[in-house]
Amino acid sequence: MDFINTLFLLGGLLIALSILGSRLSSKFGLPLLIIFLALGMLAGEEGILGIQFDDYSMAFLIGHLALAMILLDGGLRTRLKTFRVGFKPALSLATLGVLLTSGSVGFLAMWVFDLSVFEGLLIGAIVGSTDAAAVFSMLSGRGINLNERVGATLEIESGTNDPMAVFLTLAVIGYLSAPNDYTLVDSLIFLVQQMGIGSLMGLAGGVSLASALNRLDLNDSLYPLMALAGGLLIFGLTDRLGGSGFLAVYLAGLWVGNHRVHALPNIRRFHDGVAWLAQIGMFVLLGLLATPTELATVAVPGLLIALVLMLVARPVAVTLGLLPFRFPWREKVFVSWVGLRGSVPIVLATFPLIAGIDNAELFFNIAFIIVLVSLVV
């Protein structure tokens, strides 16, 4: 009983401090997600509260749940008109861009840390995608008024590039786990399965959820909960069928948010709050996972990789990915600079730990350093 009471006390305290910390963000320009991460690290085993937390399986579970809620909210808030404007360039960045970024960072990591080719590529895959929570948080800030195509491209890219990063991470882990049995054909089949089933389930689930919300006679307070339950159901069912739950839940939210649905304004307001809670919980938890003394051992090479990612790998990937779409150079520079890394790389960095891959703790620490540098700079 004392443990449960302590858990409630610490949980409520950390969430309250995170919300109050948002005032620091607006007053001093600090990134909100950095504040959440910092609070988690301060509460951790080497911090003020000394909380020992190293349950990567739980972090993996909570991270998936939080990302599902964040992507559902992102889909609900993306207008279909905006989606049409930014879909093609965003799709290019979410596929080719992630592949190019992962490859270039992977080869650098291989050289810096003296790893095998596939171990280096695993680091590249883990940090290859931009983060929906970080990008949505930044673009919704005060004073941000972007060209519609640029804003749409950034939002849609961050909402749809997670499946590619997950695919690359799992494909490389599959090879490292069984190098003699895993083939290129296996990885291509896995890619088609993830994207195909994810797209079909997302659209079918969105249609079904919108129809259910319109047909059900519920108390107005229950429609947002029904939308959340439907989104999580679509996410879980898609994953069970072998598709990308992240892609499915984003597309389902996109469909519901752009059709006549009962109590849609209430649904959007509710999910905005849920997405904030998910961001706070996820980043505080990931901060608890980090051990500052271990991060310090890879800080310098991690900083080098982070700077190359931001100043070379991301700009090259954006330039090549947007080549067919005639973006002015200023917009390309901006899109390159807003390739923020956030919770997704840290969550993906728990995959090798759970799979028991060699050097898994090194991969986690590097990913954490890269996220910190990306959000701060």
> Does the global pTM surpass 0.75?
yes
What percent of the chain clears pLDDT 90, i.e. is strictly above it? 30
Alpha carbon distance 37, 287 (integer Å): 5
Q: Side chain identity at 98, as an amino acid letter?
A: V
pLDDT in tens, 175-184: 888 888 777 7
What was the pLDDT predicted at 162? 79
Q: What does each C-alpha distance from 5 to 11, 45, 118 come to in angstroms?
A: 10, 19, 45
> What's the pLDDT at 284?
81
What does the pLDDT read at residue 308? 92
Q: Highest mean pLDDT range out of 15-19, 129-133, 234-238?
A: 234-238
pLDDT number for residue 27:
62
List the end-to-end C-alpha distance of the chain, in Å, as a whole number.
43
Kindly report the number of other CB atoms within 10 A of residue 54's CB atom: 12
In tens, the pLDDT along 222-248 reads: 999 999 999 999 999 999 998 989 889
DSSP 144-179: ----HHHHHHHHHHHHHSHHHHHHHHHHHHHHHH-T
Q: In the structure encoding, which two tokens stand for residue 25, read together? A: 């963000």
